[in-house]
Amino acid sequence: MINVALIHEAPIPTWSCRQLIISLKNLGAKVSYLRVQKISVEILRKGNVKVYYGLRSIDIPDAQVIRSLGFALSIEQFFRRIQALKVLSDLDVFTINPIESMIIARDKFYSLFKLKENGIPVPSTTVTEDVLLAMEKVKEWKEVVLKPLMGSLGYGSIKTSEADVAYNIGRVLLSINQPLYVQEYIRKPQRDIRVFVVGDKVLGSIYRISYTSWKTNVAQGAKVLKAPKIPEVEELALKATKALNLYYAGVDIAETPENGYVVFEVNAAPLWRGFQKATGINPADEIAKFVIDHIKK
């Protein structure tokens, strides 16, 4: 029986984790839900390594599906968790998504650089610790979005056309050792497109629509609607997923009147409740099949 570890920070499985557990078990896998902070790896003077979950020694799984590394971590916590999972990956545990790729995707700025490097259109963006540069970017781009460098669901993102607002926000962020992520605001028709990719296949696309806010995150109240098949959008999503070396991803794309399609972000551990509601497609089934097929090769 194939042994799969499903990894998250939450004390009980989230909705998407529960969907994955069901899908993996339906394919005959044994699934263990493991909290990432309780996983420890020991290097032995005699022998190789031992893996612990809490105080209990556990078998090394055939695969690990990483759904969350946690948020608001110290740099030491972040690297410890990465180290433990990377050791397992180096011991030939199939890891989805790959650790290195998840780190890149989690860094909003470097991931945009990798997309740009692969010829994918992205918004003009800078990361700085200089509030005066942030102010200059507001003047240059007229309207900007200030975001956390590492964040999700649109929380903490602020749109402004005022250089003084950028200055004040920047001063606050720098006081807590946070850099300023400044991105030109791209006007879009009250919606964006979320494309769900697994392997070399686009499962489908949805419109995320917001009539009351410039943010189109489902977690912040955006409505979802199945989007039509648009070859250019699907090609961009596949290209973006491949550029970050991800096995599956949620790719966020905006339709702009001036610049055509622009990729904002590639999520390496996307949620899919809204996607499933709009399309009737359960990505957990496709992800589970991808994992099992890879192990059986």
Supply the pTM of this predicted model. 0.92
On the question of pLDDT at 198 being above 70, the answer is: yes
- C-alpha distances in Å from residue 252, one per residue of 58, 121, 125, 206: 38, 12, 16, 10
Is 49 a member of any domain? yes
Evaluate if residue 165 carries a pLDDT over 70: yes
Q: What is the percent of the chain with per-residue pLDDT over 70, rounded to a whole number? A: 95
Q: Are strands 63-66 and 3-8 parallel, antiparallel or unpaired?
A: parallel
The domain boundary, picked from 184, 204, 232, lies at: 184
CATH number of the structural domain spanning residue 83: 3.40.50.20
Joined tokens for residue 43: 């290097």
- Element of type H or E holding 33: strand 30-35
Q: Report the distance separating Cα 59 and Cα 287, nearest Å.
A: 23
Judge whether 101 lies within some domain.
no
Q: Which domain holds residue 174?
A: 125-184
Residue 208 is part of a domain; what is its CATH number? Answer: 3.30.470.20
100-116 burial by CB neighbour count: b if 16+ within 10 A, else e? ebbbbbbbbeebbebbe
| Mean of pLDDT values over 145-150 | 80
Average pLDDT on 4-13 reads 98
Q: Are residues 19 and 7 in the same domain?
A: yes
Placement of tokens 């250089």 in the chain: 163
Asked if residue 247 and residue 221 are part of one domain, the reply reads: yes
User: Which of 126, 142, 151, 165 minimizes the C-alpha distance to 217?
Assistant: 151
Q: 265-289, pLDDT tens digit by residue?
A: 999 999 999 999 999 999 999 999 9
Phi/psi of residue 100, nearest 5 degrees = -60, -40
Which amino acid does the sequence have at 219?
Answer: A
pLDDT at position 220 is: 61
Predicted confidence band of residue 152 (pLDDT cuts 50, 70, 90): low
Q: Does pLDDT of 63 surpass 60?
A: yes
- Residue 37: predicted pLDDT: 97
Give me the amino acid identity at 259: N
Let me know if residue 200 belongs to a domain: yes
Q: How many CA atoms lie within 13 A of 34 on its CB side?
A: 31
Angle at 10 between CA 98 and CA 245, to 5 degrees: 15
- Indicate whether 8 and 65 sit together in one domain: yes
150 and 194: one domain?
Answer: no
Q: How many domains does the chain have?
A: 3
* 197/283 same-domain check: yes
Position 213 scores a pLDDT of 72
Give the residue carrying structure tokens 């390594």.
49
Q: State the chain's mean pLDDT as an integer.
A: 93
Span 6-20, average pLDDT? 98
